[in-house]
Amino acid sequence: MSPNIAKKQRFIGKTAIITGAGSGIGRATAIQMAREGANVALFDLVNERTSVLEQKLNKLRKDCALAIDVDTSDAERMEEAVRRTIEHFGSLDVVFANAGINGAVGPIEELSLSDWERTMSVNLTGTFLTLKYTIPHLKDKGKGSIIITSSINGNTRFTSFGWSPYSTTKAGQVAFAKMAALELAKFKIRVNVICPGAISTNIDETTEFNEDVEEIVIPIEFPEGAQPLADGPGKAENVADLVSFLASDESIHITGAQIVIDGAESLLS
Ligand code: NAD
């Protein structure tokens, strides 16, 4: 987090739901928003990781964090997790639909139906359910900000061979975000979608490579400096800065925007 942002207190009295909060981009965003005064509901599969973060944040500010063990692709559990959040914190202002997996990577004919459906269900259905169950609470509040984590893959980059399920979900999230932005504008609920390039997180643990992927790769020689601005992957905190801006009233006139955050990586590939 940059020092001038650290001094801001943009979220006092606000509550945010952050999915995928136990690691990477979600975790960095939860820490930043809590430091700036937010109450944060930490939605993640891995209860232990989110519990540790919950304790850390509650030491930072008493009772500001609530960890909830939930699979974002499970409708019943998501509905219950949102209900618990409202019961605990009273209302909702910000939703960060961020949980995602890389999933199965391989030639299309080698992917099983369940490979395909798993990536769809976590990345795309999970995003749908996150919005479905939180929108009524943002409407109750009379305004709100939703941010969805997509990717440069499927939007500005198509050279990650074998990543067709992942890229399809990431393109779908952008269309969904723009549809939602128009649908919700009259309720003063903003919806923006971010497209990160490579960011140092634990996401690679979720990649399931099919060895036949080598057969479909078209060799591409990348120029030196694949992330020209940073000379390497970005940090989760860089993305958290962007999400916090979109969550705050500093971006009050921004909705339906698709924002690439990749250090110019996708301009080269
Ligand atoms: P990460 O693996 O470090 O964190 C993702 C978190 O989501 C994990 O804690 C994981 O347990 C959780 N999660 C996964 N499936 C879930 C489910 N069904 N229900 C609840 N929680 C679930 O990865 P990250 O890089 O921080 O990923 C966050 C988002 O950023 C993802 O949507 C990913 O596609 C996107 N993204 C990441 C990169 C990158 O290079 N890291 C680039 C572009 C987009």
Establish whether residue 159 lines the binding site of ligand 1, counting it when its CB lies within 6 angstroms of any ligand atom.
no
Establish whether residue 169 lines the binding site of ligand 1, counting it when its CB lies within 6 angstroms of any ligand atom.
no
Establish whether residue 20 lines the binding site of ligand 1, counting it when its CB lies within 6 angstroms of any ligand atom.
yes
Q: To which residue do tokens 């009273």 refer? A: 90
Cα(169) to ligand 1 centroid in Å equals 13
Phi, psi of 203 (to 5 degrees): -60, -30
Residue 4: band (very low, low, confident or very high) from pLDDT cuts 50, 70, 90: low
Exposed/middle/buried for residue 96 (C-beta within 10 Å: 0-12, 13-18, 19+): buried
- The stretch 203-210 carries a mean pLDDT of 93
pLDDT reading at 6 higher than 70: no
Tokens (6 digits) for 253: 């006139």
Cα(266) to ligand 1 centroid in Å equals 20
Going along the chain from its start, the domains and CATH numbers come out as: 3-264 (3.40.50.720)
Instruction: Please report the pLDDT score of residue 230 as a whole number.
Output: 84
| Tens digits of residue pLDDT in 32-88 | 999 999 999 999 998 789 999 999 999 999 999 999 999 999 999 999 999 999 999
Percent of the chain past pLDDT 70, that is, above it, reads 97
Neighbouring C-alpha atoms within 13 Å toward the C-beta of 248 = 20
- Supply the residues annotated as catalytic: 166
Q: Considering only CA atoms, which of 10, 117, 40 is closest in space to residue 73?
A: 117
Q: What is the DSSP letter of 161?
A: T
**CA-to-CA distance for 24 and 4, rounded, in angstroms?**
22
**CA-to-CA distance for 217 and 178, rounded, in angstroms?**
32
Cα(88) to ligand 1 centroid in Å equals 25
Mutate to test the pocket of ligand 1, among 25, 29, 54, 79 (most ligand atoms within 8 A of CB): 25
Establish whether residue 30 lines the binding site of ligand 1, counting it when its CB lies within 6 angstroms of any ligand atom.
no
**CA-to-CA distance for 113 and 26, rounded, in angstroms?**
29
Residue 23: band (very low, low, confident or very high) from pLDDT cuts 50, 70, 90: very high
